[in-house]
Homo-oligomer: A and B are copies of this chain.
């Protein structure tokens, strides 16, 4: 389902969070679909159940998942319907802010970054 690398510097919970978000963003997990139970996934990933639970809880707070005790955890429909595009846009803005700041400290200008990204776009479409 997912795969984690315990040796990777990124903590397990962060890896899992990203993996789930990514799976949803790319459609591999559909709205309404049930995720593995906390314990199931914990066994599969060789991780403590609490680690999985924390991830599910955090993603629920973000509105990405919905959990029902005794039943399971599901990809939230509400999220994609209700998250205002403005809100979504704001997240992108913040991400880009951090990114540009970092690039700036390395001596790259906005144009440098744009060039780099545009050249990828070409590659992607070929």
Whether A58 sits at the interface, judged by CB under 8 Å, is no
Residue of B nearest to A110 (CB): B121
Whether A43 sits at the interface, judged by CB under 8 Å, is no
Residue of B nearest to A17 (CB): B105
| B103 touching A95, Cβ below 8 Å | yes
A64 to chain B, nearest CB (A): 10
Flag the segment in A49-57, A68-76, A111-119 that touches B. A111-119
| A108 touching B121, Cβ below 8 Å | no
**19 pairs of residues in contact across A and B, judged by CB atoms under 8 Å:** A18-B101, A21-B106, A22-B104, A22-B105, A24-B107, A25-B105, A92-B106, A92-B112, A92-B113, A95-B99, A95-B106, A95-B108, A96-B113, A96-B116, A99-B99, A110-B120, A111-B121, A113-B117, A114-B118
